[in-house]
Amino acid sequence: MSGVFVLRAGPLSLRLTRRAVVVGAVLWLVLAALVVWAFTLGSYPLSPGDLGDVLTGRASRSVRKVVLEWRAPRIVAAVLFGAALAVGGAVFQSLTRNPLGSPDVIGFTTGSYTGVVLTLLAGASSYSALAAGALAGGLLTAFAVYLLAFKRGVQGFRLIIVGIAAGALLSSANRWFSVKADVDTALRVAVWGAGSLATVDWTAIGTAAVVLAGVAAVAPVAQRRMRRLELGDDTAAMLGVPVERTKLLLVVLGVAATAVVTAAAGPIAFVALAAPQIARRLTGHGTSVDLAGSALVGAVLLLGADLVAQHTVPGVLLPTGAVTVCVGGVYLLVLLARESRRGL
């Protein structure tokens, strides 16, 4: 077929259209430009030449400190975490076959939030402890929602409705925990709950990268099964997909991708909801899942939002989550209006 490329590696194959290749190249260029721009912005201005000096080892100690210790962790975190949130969102939107099926909307991110809040209340504050709490909270919430929504299988719309109810319940519990906690713990929870990349360090990035590398390793197989599930459970079963077991595995994959971000940076909304939909429209994949395209869009969105948070108001560092919530609220209203016209 003209304009279609198929890459094969053993039992796996990748089908690419010319449009997807062009869009992917453009997204990579935009991401690279944002990364370079992010390194140059700040109270200590740098030039692209300074970045080249750091890479070649000719930069001064002060420039290396600014680039490698102050700005690089935040920039790398924005790219890595944006991609992870987008992949998690793409998994759940494919699983529910609904653009509203994001972990932000259906309560799984709130469950991770609850896990971290309980971990902080227990006195643990290391990233490994917070990551374990976020993962446990997200998975327990996901399995509870899955079981409550199960009725001769899991239908996407029922999963969304149950997830929204569970998220509302957990949000109330999180507020109650914050009120009952001592002042210091409550302040830590409040700061963390705003969602920010300001405190992310290389330790958190390295731990998150290990988990996300595992997610990336199984993504090609997951994407193939997801596309078959999008044809309907009966069709997927006839194609040899173990439907319910695959859905459970996809839930674990999606929760893991978002929980590591929640543990490191707090709840960052909008990216998981919007990135997969933007990627589908840009690449022309229609209703088919595109994990790679979603990851690229998510990285661009979160890095762009973080730049807005840092440099829009002079002298004020806004939480990245506050920026994504403002933009995401408008996006969610538009998406809800569009879905209501379709008779959701």
Identify the structural domains of the chain with CATH numbers, from first to last: 4-61+74-341 (1.10.3470.10)
pLDDT for position 74: 93
Spatial CA neighbour of 189 closest among 122, 272, 275: 122
The set of residues, in sequence order, having a beta carbon less than 8 Å from that of 116 and lying 6+ positions away, is 130, 133, 134, 137, 192, 262, 263
Q: How far is CA 315 from the centre of its chain?
A: 28
CA–CA gap between residue 221 and residue 182 (Å, rounded): 46
Torsions phi, psi for 86 (to 5 deg): -65, -40
CA–CA gap between residue 204 and residue 325 (Å, rounded): 23
pLDDT for position 1: 42
Distances (CA, A) of 113 to 31, 43, 84: 29, 33, 16
Give me the sign of the Cα torsion angle 30, 98, 331, 310: negative
Distances (CA, A) of 167 to 78, 105, 138, 148, 260: 25, 8, 11, 13, 19
Q: SS3 for 66? A: helix
Residue where the block lists tokens 């709490």:
133
pLDDT for position 4: 55
Q: Rounded to two decimals, what is the model's pTM?
A: 0.85
Q: SS3 for 7? A: strand
Output the tens digit of pLDDT for each of the chain's 344 residues.
445 555 555 555 556 677 888 888 999 999 999 999 999 988 888 888 888 888 888 888 888 888 888 899 999 999 999 999 999 999 888 888 877 778 877 777 888 888 888 888 887 877 778 878 888 888 888 888 878 877 766 666 777 888 888 888 888 888 888 777 777 777 777 777 778 888 888 888 988 888 888 888 888 888 888 888 888 878 888 888 888 888 888 888 888 888 888 888 888 888 988 888 888 888 876 556 788 889 999 999 999 999 999 888 777 778 888 888 887 777 777 766 776 666 54
CA–CA gap between residue 115 and residue 135 (Å, rounded): 7
Q: What is the CB neighbour count within 10 angstroms for residue 51?
A: 18
Spatial CA neighbour of 145 closest among 157, 133, 131, 129: 157
pLDDT for position 144: 86
pLDDT for position 107: 79
Distances (CA, A) of 320 to 12, 35, 90, 184: 37, 16, 21, 22
In DSSP notation, 203-260 reads HHHHHHHHHHHHHHHHHHHHHHHHHHHTT-HHHHHHTT--HHHHHHHHHHHHHHHHHH
